[in-house]
């Protein structure tokens, strides 16, 4: 076994960020992911993210290692083909608004009749049950409702407004839960021979990330944000410190390191002023090297592109280049966890719309050239022409 999920076949109806990031992680661990897009392309092709050759950078980023088939799921012949593909799949995954897959005729109740071992992952804003279950959602909604938007703003300025989190964490965090739960369901299936439905809600998973804040609230019956504001602690020595060319973030909660710095400065007590006198004229990297050398947890505050250039990140093999048939080469993060026996791997750029339609339908369903041409002419499927 070269890749840990190499025997897993995923039929992927996902769109935008949440679902595509989930299936990309599984694809990087070796699963075969066949992305199903409408003939007009998923909304994720158009954004968010700047367009390059008519497709959003987000799409290029979140669809590595996937094959792409483009088909009209409302066409009866396509429905029949999907039934056959479901029979050959281990996992079906979608992040439509709840009810959409059922209207298309591909709800869990139907699919488990076709393939009782199927693991059906339904990703959504609020889950498949409960008062909001039918509501549409995006990351920003889940972030807002789970407390993160409020906390981000109040942590910055207690008297200011809430601030949206950067970086679509309301998609990426839920996607991690989804991928990990799908792998757990594979283990159950392998032990029992039974599939199951995995219902992942952005709201629930983002709320689960509040585990420490919720315990603090429940024990004190007061918001930890208000408690911190109403009971200010003495100013911290560390935190965000401005140096010659930007900021560093310093954690001073490591006794051995603080003792070393005190000895170096010849003082009994560290203060922010003393630390700044020592490092204020240094560059970020000089301050980083100096303080990390003493044992402090410390790091330069980077913009994302700077992390790509960091020598440590490069030494860990974190960046690889993919070659896209239209936009050419671009750099992407490698699978970021190192397995000693079954490493993850980025193997291909995001696909063009319908890049593999004919190939997949011929290989998996035995469709002939004539049949595929007829389906194309009828508008049931789309093949990218190159
Ligand atoms: C993201 C979201 C708001 C987008 O809304 P939307 O564009 O209306 O998408 P929906 O999921 O409701 O439906 C897509 C429509 O395209 C149709 N469609 C999708 N793929 C199709 C295909 N291959 N062929 C034909 N029709 C297709 C669906 O049938 C549906 O049409 P219908 O309403 O007539 O049934 C919604 O999907 C959602 O809330 N998803 C759950 C939360 C989520 O994941 N958000 C995104 C986080 S990045």
Evaluate whether residue 3 is within a structural domain: no
Evaluate whether residue 20 is within a structural domain: yes
Nearest to 158 by CA among 110, 225, 99, 112: 225
Q: 87 and 153, same structural domain? A: yes
Query: Exposed (0-12), middle (13-18) or buried (19+): which is 383, by Cβ within 10 Å?
Result: buried
Q: 274 and 141, same structural domain? A: no
* Mode of pairing for the β-strands spanning 9-12 and 91-94: parallel
pLDDT for 1: 80
Write the residue with the smallest CA distance to atom 34 of ligand 1. 100
Contact 168, 21 (CB under 8 A): no
pLDDT for 209: 97
Write the residue with the smallest CA distance to atom 15 of ligand 1. 100
**Alpha carbon distance 316, 297 (integer Å):** 19
Evaluate whether residue 192 is within a structural domain: yes
Q: Which atom of ligand 1 is nearest to the CA of 18?
A: 48
Q: 283 and 328, same structural domain? A: no
Contact 197, 117 (CB under 8 A): no
pLDDT for 101: 97
Q: 111 and 149, same structural domain? A: yes
**pLDDT below 50 — which residues of the chain?**
none
Evaluate whether residue 293 is within a structural domain: yes
Cα(42) to ligand 1 centroid in Å equals: 8
Q: Which atom of ligand 1 is nearest to the CA of 44?
A: 48
C-beta neighbour count of 17 within 10 angstroms: 24
Q: Which domain holds residue 157?
A: 9-209+315-382
**Alpha carbon distance 310, 318 (integer Å):** 10
Which of 252, 283, 306 is where one domain is finished?
Answer: 306
Q: 264 and 372, same structural domain? A: no
Evaluate whether residue 124 is within a structural domain: yes
Rounded to two decimals, what is the model's pTM?
0.97
Q: Tokens 């709840």 belong to which residue?
A: 98
Domain count, the chain: 2
Q: Cis peptide leading into 48, omega within 30 of 0?
A: yes
Write a three-state SS string for 139-183: HHHHHHHCCHHHHHHHHHCCCCCCCCCCCCHHHHHHHHHHHHHHH
């Amino acid at each position: 076994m070269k890749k840990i999920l190499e025997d897993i076949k995923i039929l992927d109806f996902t769109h935008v960020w949440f679902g595509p990031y989930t299936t990309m992680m599984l694809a990087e661990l070796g699963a075969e992911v066949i992305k199903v897009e409408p003939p007009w392309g998923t909304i994720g092709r158009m954004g968010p993210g700047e367009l390059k050759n008519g497709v959003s950078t987000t799409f290029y980023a979140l669809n590595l290692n996937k094959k792409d088939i483009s088909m009209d799921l409302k066409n009866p012949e396509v429905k029949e083909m999907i039934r056959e593909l479901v029979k050959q799949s281990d996992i079906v995954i979608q992040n439509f608004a709840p009810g959409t897959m059922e209207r298309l005729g591909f709800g869990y109740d139907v699919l488990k009749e076709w393939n009782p071992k199927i693991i059906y992952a339904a990703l959504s804003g609020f889950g498949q049950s409960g008062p909001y279950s039918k509501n549409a959602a995006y990351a920003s909604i889940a972030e807002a409702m789970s407390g993160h938007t409020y906390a981000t703003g109040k942590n910055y300025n207690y008297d200011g407004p809430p601030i949206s989190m950067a970086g679509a964490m309301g998609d990426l965090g839920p996607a991690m839960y989804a991928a990990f739960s799908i792998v757990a369901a594979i283990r159950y299936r392998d032990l029992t021979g039974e599939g199951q439905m995995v219902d992942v809600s952005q709201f629930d998973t983002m709320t689960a990330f509040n585990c420490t804040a919720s315990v603090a609230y429940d024990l004190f019956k007061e918001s930890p944000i208000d408690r911190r504001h109403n009971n200010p602690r003495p100013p911290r020595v560390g935190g965000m410190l401005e140096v010659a060319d930007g900021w560093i973030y310093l954690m001073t909660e490591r006794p051995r390191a603080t003792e070393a710095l005190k000895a170096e400065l010849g003082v009994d007590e560290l203060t922010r002023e003393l630390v700044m006198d020592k490092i204020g004229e240094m560059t970020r990297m000089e301050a980083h090297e100096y303080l990390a050398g003493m044992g402090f947890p410390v790091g330069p505050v980077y913009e994302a592109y700077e992390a790509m250039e960091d020598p440590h990140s490069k030494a860990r093999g974190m960046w690889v280049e993919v070659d896209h048939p239209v936009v050419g080469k671009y750099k992407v993060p490698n699978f970021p966890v190192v397995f000693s026996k079954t490493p993850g791997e980025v193997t291909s750029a995001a696909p063009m719309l319908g890049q593999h339609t004919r190939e997949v339908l011929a290989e998996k369903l035995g469709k002939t050239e004539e049949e595929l041409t007829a389906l194309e002419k009828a508008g049931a499927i789309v093949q990218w022409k190159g």
